[in-house]
Amino acid sequence: MSDKNSRLFLLIGGTITIVGAVAQLFDLGPAAFIFSAGALVIIVLQFIQALNDKSDDLRQKRLSRLGFMVSLFLGLAAYLMFTHSNLWVVAILVYALTTLFLSFRTR
């Protein structure tokens, strides 16, 4: 997958995820499904990026794999939304803070 396409899908998945999270805050019915669709896009993109990392730098490969593992917190947040637990906020917070940290470490 080209870098341009992956950025486009990441933008779309992120937007859908944010819309789903805001809808969950207002307790709208299909919010968990909307969030799950965006989270799935992000998780798949992170998985593809981890698989396609052909870098010789072991640090870069490790950070790529860590990005995928952290994206699984979005899946956990989606599960917690379906169980009507408020802990989905904590899962998203862990994902956001770790992704912010990784964004500074990878470049």
Q: How many Å apart are CA 31 and CA 25, to the nearest integer? A: 9
Domain of 44 in residue numbering reads as 3-106
What confidence score (pLDDT) does residue 1 get?
A: 66
Question: Taking residues 18-22, what's their average pLDDT?
Answer: 96
Question: So what's the pLDDT on residue 79?
Answer: 97
Name the pLDDT band for 58 (thresholds 50, 70, 90).
confident
Query: How do residues 89-103 score in pLDDT, each as one tens digit?
Result: 999 999 999 999 998
Retrieve residue 22's tokens.
Answer: 């805001």
Quote the pTM value.
0.91
Instruction: Check: CB of residue 47 under 8 Å from CB of residue 68.
Output: yes
- Please give the tally of structural domains in the chain: 1
